[in-house]
Each structure stands twice: as C-alpha cells, then as structure tokens.
A = this chain, B = another copy of it.
C-alpha cells in the first residue's frame, strides 16, 4: 500500500483524489491546498483524509511515500524538488516545469535518490494512443509521413501560459510516444487577440530527421470543440477523433506508392490504393486509473515510468522552442538532442 499526499485541489486535483481513492494499492494520506474552502470540500467528500494548508507537513510525514503535485506550473519545480529531497516519489502535472533547466535538475535529483518521477501526460495511458502506438510499432502503418492534430474549442483562457503549454503539450507527448524520435526543428505562429494575455491560438510545426512532419493547430477561440488527429503512413493511415464515443480510432488501408525508377518519377507515376477501413476495439479503462496503477507499480517494483522525467523534459523543450519561434515571427528553432532517449 502506497501512501500518497496530494498537493493542489483546483482543476485537476479532484480527479487525482478521486482516482487514487479508488485504487486498491493506494491510500490518500493527506491533501494540501492554500484555499481552506477547497479543503472543506475534500473533508465533506472524504472524511477520512487529512487536509492541511501546509505543504511542508506532507514532506515531514514519514508515512507518506509519494507526493502528487497538481498546482500551477510556476510552482512545479520548487514543490517537486522539495518532495524528492524529502525522499518522496513524485507524480507531477504536465507541463513538468517552466523551463528545461528545471526539468533536468528534477531528473538528476530523482535519479540520484532513486525515486520515481512520473510526469502526468495522461493521453499516453489512453486506449486510443496505446492502439496507435501498437499499429505504428508493428510496422503496419509503414513509414510515418505526417502527424496532424487539431485541438480547438472555446476554452478557458490561462493567465500565465500560452495555448501551446495548455493544448499542444498533448501532441508533444503523444508524438514522443508514437514516433520514438525527437524533432530537429520547430516553427510556430500564433497570436493573442487581447492585450496583455498569452497567445490563445497557435500553429506549431515539428520537423524530424526521418522526414516525418508534425503539425498542431491549437486554439481557445473556436466555436466548436475539435480533437482530431491524422497520422499518414506509407502503408496505412489513421484518424483519431477523441470526441467520438466509441470508434475513436479508424485505420484506413489507403496509401500512395511512388516508384523509384527515375524515368517513372519524371512522369510522376503515383499509385493510389484504397481499401477497407477498420476501427479496432479500444481498452476502456479510464486513462488516469491505468496511470495510477502504473505509478504504484513503478514505486513498488523500482521501474521507470512510461512518462518519466526524460519524456517530460523533451516536452518542455518543445514548448520552449515553439514559444520562442512564435515570439520571433515563426523563425526556425533547432532542437538539440536530449539525454535519455534510448531507442
């Protein structure tokens, strides 16, 4: 049984509490928040859980094995570092930190202390992303030509981070999982339509050494909610519509085959292929539960999380690069290969 302290009961915290409360291997020892009203809500819903305004009391509690942090991003680094130094395992909301230097320091701290550091990129634990990963890894899709994501809605404007940190962050983690390759360059355009606010709409393009290209169209200013991804390969193509209740993933037996014969290229001979479509059944367990069980398993069996600090760092690097490009009128920003990518 892993005893968990949860920090932050704002937007995402209640999901963490609900999830860990139902997890057989976990016990919620305490919940911390600065807002006493929120703690009162926790008390009413979970009378057995200790609540506190003082985050430090969690660190000092020897019964607490792990700290889950669901606070604003500008507090992530301090809270996570203190937790690791107190010998706790850490579950950290995405994006991991405000910048990549902080992310690297957290990775080092966790590795030196041999603590689990899981970054909560929940999408990686969905049945849909898992199935896409399987299909790509099996080679059925062939070479990945492109990844194209639209993630727009009439969203909550955030005070301190751009729409890239809020929405494109999901694409960065999914891409990391699917492609097993880090981009070499990023360009981004975006705009804030209201003075003094972060960008509410952005277009990000990622370039890969293999020739793959990825694009994310993210916005808080769309009249309709769209969550659609296309992945095109040399053999098959996938659509992923996250708002579809059942058939989220569709695999199309469609493709384009080019000849390498120079004369044929001259003539632009393209062979089209269209065939069946197939919508595989997906695992339906809630992603957060899968992720919670994985966190417990990593702690108990000294394993590395699928969404470890290195993945978290690579995502932060892409956010940094995309924001930098966006604020310099779309200039190309080159990415230096991070440590930790094994494959």
Contact = CB atoms under 8 A, between A and B. Distances in A.
A278 interface: yes
Contact of A223 (B197, B252, B270): B252
22 contacts: A146-B201, A148-B219, A148-B222, A154-B254, A154-B272, A158-B268, A193-B211, A194-B265, A195-B265, A196-B265, A197-B258, A197-B265, A217-B217, A222-B230, A223-B230, A223-B238, A224-B230, A275-B281, A276-B281, A277-B279, A279-B279, A331-B332
A162 interface: no
| Protomer copies | 4
Contacts of A274: 154, 281
* Binding site secondary structure of chain A: strand
A60 to B, nearest CB: 28
A222 B193 contact: no
A330 interface: yes
A256 B232 CA distance: 35
Interface in A251-271: 252-254, 256, 258, 260, 265, 268, 270
Given A193-B211, A222-B230, A222-B237, 10 more contacts: A146-B191, A191-B213, A205-B330, A223-B254, A224-B230, A253-B281, A276-B281, A278-B279, A329-B332, A330-B331
A47 interface: yes
Interface string A32-43: 000000000000
